[in-house]
Structure formats: structure tokens, C-alpha cells
Structure 1
């Protein structure tokens, strides 16, 4: 009897801290979101998205990989689908302690924290996708298993290339002019070097013109204080201030995605559960490889509920 009371007391006082994370471009898969259209909420969001975008998210997602992988379409599709999943979770009284999104995923994190509504966020994502889609002349390459000190030194001594995505200790993405990216790729000894299928050098200084145009739109968009703390890409520090969150978003298009530091912060602040909301398991797998003590789960469709 005493043992059972002890167990009840232990379970009652055991604290579980959960973070929701949202993947960005590259996580898209053909067929994503189809089952969400069977819900009244999904039907509503897909219709509203079509009115704003002028094209059907569902049709794009059920089409071919080539079109779905174009920045112009990928980003709005991911945003809409992830927002539907967020709403479905919240309608079931599920809420996290912390939020973070990888690049585009940060917009879903802001929506989940009620910084802006679905329509406002989609209009921002639509403009972001259009501006980024116009960017040409850049290149991005993912590097896997390398010496970080050597990479930092090579980048420091090579103009027009930056560390765009610091995803984990052994996985990064470099971004810049094709010549500079190729030079770094040839100099660093990495197990794998994978060229990404993107039009421009995202998250680098080469996106300055697009970033400046996007900032004008951000200035005229109302943000509210976040109801859940968000770890922004640009600084990997939890924020709720609408002023700071907007400033961080302004810097995001040209700044590095500091995902490795985001994961470190979560572990150091005793996050015990990671729920990746969106297609695939890209972010979940990053956590699994680095931190086996954290429980991970992916929710990308109705069946995952």
C-alpha cells in the first residue's frame, strides 16, 4: 500500500518538459497533408491558403517532387500543413514548454506561440518564398562528418562563403558563391558533401537584397507577445518579446541557423521530450544522434496522433 502511494506521489510530482520543433525546406514529401483535408479544420485552412496563394497546396503536394521542391511552393506548403497539425494538437489541449523552428519552421513556431494568426503568417511566408525564389547565383552544400576547427579556419580564410546551417556537431551547410563553396568543399575532409537543390545562397550575405525587401513587409506586420517561449534561429535564446522576435526574424534570411546551439540549450534546460511537427524526421534524428536521453516523436499526419 505504501509503495503504491509512493508511486502515485512520484508520478504526480514528476516534471515532463516538452519542446515542439518545426522542420524547414527539405522536409517536404509528395502526398503530405492529404489526410488533413478530411478534417473540418484542414478543409478550412486549405481553402483559406488557396485564396491567399492563388494555387492549391493540396494539388502541389499530390503532384511531382520537382514542383514541390521549388522554394516558391515548398515554403507555403510546409507552413500550411504544420499550422494545421499545431491547431489539431492544441484543440486536444496539448501544449509545449518551448518552441523552435528550423529556418522556415520558425514561422510555424511564431504561429504556435500566437505571435500572429494563420493568415498573417502565410502572407509573410508567401512573400519570403517569392523573394528567395528569385535569388540566383548562389550555392549550398551540406557537409557530414568533418573536423570543425579545420572547417572554421577554411571558411574564415575564404571570402563569400559562410556557415549557413549549423545543424549538429557533425552536420552543417555552407552557403555562398559557387566558386567559394566549391573551394571550401574541396579543402575540407568530409565523409560526404551534398549539393542542395536550391536557387540561391540562403542564410548568407548574398541574400541581403531580398532580406531588405522583406524587412519592409515585416515592419508593417503586427506581432504580439509570444505565449510560449521561442528559440530563434539567429541567437538560440528563448524569447517572448514581440519586438525581439521581429528583429530576429529580420536577421534570419541572412543569418546562420544555429540549430546545434538550440539543441544544446534544450538539453541543458532539461527538455525531456521533443515532438517534431511536420513531414519527415529530420530534426528528430538530429536529436537522436546527439542526445539519446531525450524522447523524440514525429507528428506529420493524422495517424501519428
Structure 2
């Protein structure tokens, strides 16, 4: 294959039933779920496979669930001996990328995700906020909208998802005003999102401060594959910088479009999304025309991916 990047989804990609086909077909995947239950203190398999959806939507369940599904799928892919040029993950997905890159063990990664998700959920309950998606405005206009709406409270860009789509985050009244202003400026679409809180905003500051103390004890190795960081849209491999950026990420915007563009500029044309859903592939295709995307979400996707690799290798 040409130069390839592995991408990992974040919160919002989850669905009830995800990962069951893998779990039921492979003893190693069952072991991952057993290990997860020991670390988390609850039966994650039951939450993933049976729901209900309202439970899976809670941050403390959502984040470990997506992380585990992504790593389980990657375990299968690793048998194909394909080494990506880069790895990247959207918000939570950055932890999956770091495991794949060898910077974190599965166990340490899950422990970090467990703490991150619990702290973020507590922050959501303490500081009520929301997010909105805006399509069709420039980055300059988005920044201007947030600045004008900030007289109503905290609001800031949270996710630069594609060339046209940006999510803003903050206090409810300020975000609502941001949606109103975006429409006035000609946005193609501006809508409030059904999310648990104001992720990647100042309202997560309490979670960030507490997480910083926890992450000091996290064992981080030098990444064997460069991970393009959400905070900087640049590759990172050094443990000290990885720790620093994981803390900063909690209140900083996810520079996803910029990250993918950086990889594209390095010659990457094949992007493989590993984890539940197809969100990242959709964002990629809307921003970059001369690329190939592939999603690995189910056991059947793995079989198709093997066929693709075989064809490209001949």
C-alpha cells in the first residue's frame, strides 16, 4: 500500500452492540474485556453489547467502550504486519493511537481513559454546558462569532473537524448565541448538539487540573510511530511531551482537520479508521479528494481489509 495512517474515533462513535462479533469469535478479545472489567470495576462487555443506549451515552462508559473496541480491532490488524507512517485519534481516540504507537500499554491506556472519563463527567455535572456544530464558515468567522457571543458566557472553538465543519463549546446561553450569530453570518448549518457537556472548553478546567496530577504517574514510552497530536497538529514521540499534550487536550480545541492535512502534506493517501462508526471517514472525504479511506468496525470489515491489502501487495 502507499503511505498509510491509522485513525481512531472519539466520543460519539459508540453504538449498542459494537464489538460483540469480535468478542464472540476470539479468545484474545474476550481476555481484553476481562482485563477491562478488572480495571474499570464494571462489566463493560454488558454495557457495550446490551446497553441501554442511555447508559452507553454516559461519558464514564462511552470513553472506555470506544477505546476498547478500537484496540480490539487493531489487535486483529496488527497480524497483517502493516506499520502506519502516522497514527492519530480524535480527542479520546488519541489514547488508542498512543497504544498502537507503543507509547502506552493497553492497561495503562485504559486506566488513563477511566480517570479522564470520570473527571470529565464530574466536570459536566458541575459546570453545565453544551456544544454546537457550525458548517460553512471560515476559521476567522468562527473565532469572531465566539468572541462576540462570549459576552453571554464562555464559548470557544472545540473541534476543527473538516475544512467546513467546526464545533463550538461552552456555557449554554453563549453557545446558543453563537449558533444565532453563525446563521446571521451565512453558515450553511448551525445546530446544538446532544452531548453530555462542554468538552474541550474552559468548563473542563477542573477535570484538567485533577487529571494532570494523575497522569504524572502514567508510564509513557517513546512512540515507535509518530502520533499527530490534537493540540498541535504535529507529530509527537517523546514521553514528556505526550503527557503534557494529553493534559492540555482536555480544554484545547481538537485540530483534527489540521492534523489530517499535515499527514496529507507528508504524502499520506490511505487512511484507515479503526473503531466504531464511520464518522472520521465522512469528515475526510468532505475535505480531501485525492485520498482513499477504509473503515474497520466489524469482523467482516477486517476480512475485506485483508483482501484489499492482498490486492495492493500484488
TM-score (norm: length of structure 2): 0.90
Please give the secondary structure, in 1, of the residue aligned with 2:295. Answer: strand
- Which range moved further: 288-297 or 140-149? 140-149
Whether the 8 Å contact between 2:155 and 2:174 is mirrored in structure 1 is yes
Matched with 1:231 is 228
- Which range moved further: 163-172 or 196-205? 196-205
1:149 paired to 2:140: yes
Matched with 1:28 is 14
The Cα shift of 1:147 comes to 4.6
How far apart, CA to CA, are the structure 1 residues paired with 2:62 and 2:6?
Answer: 21
The Cα shift of 1:50 comes to 0.9
1:180 paired to 2:180: no
Whether the 8 Å contact between 1:30 and 1:68 is mirrored in structure 2 is yes
For 2:201, which of 199, 204, 209 is the aligned residue?
204
Matched with 2:159 is 165
Matched with 1:3 is none
Matched with 2:263 is 266
Q: Rg larger in 1 or in 2? A: 1
Matched with 1:241 is 238
1:301 paired to 2:298: yes
Whether the 8 Å contact between 2:162 and 2:286 is mirrored in structure 1 is no
Please give the secondary structure, in 2, of the residue aligned with 1:157. Answer: helix
How far apart, CA to CA, are the structure 1 residues paired with 2:96 and 2:42?
Answer: 20
- Which range moved further: 249-258 or 142-151? 142-151
User: Which stretches of structure 1, 4 residues or more, deviate above 4 A after TM superposition?
Assistant: none
Matched with 1:134 is 122
Q: Deviations over 1:134-186 (max 9, x none)?
A: 12311111122235433221212332110000111211110011111111111
Unaligned runs of 5+ residues in structure 1 are 1-14
For 2:92, which of 104, 113, 122 is the aligned residue?
104
Between Structure 1 and Structure 2, how many residues are aligned? 291
Cα RMSD between the aligned structures? 1.3
Matched with 1:90 is 78
- Which range moved further: 154-163 or 20-29? 154-163
TM-score (norm: length of structure 1): 0.92
How far apart, CA to CA, are the structure 2 residues paired with 1:303 and 1:188?
Answer: 41
- Which range moved further: 182-191 or 101-110? 182-191
Unaligned runs of 5+ residues in structure 2 are 303-314
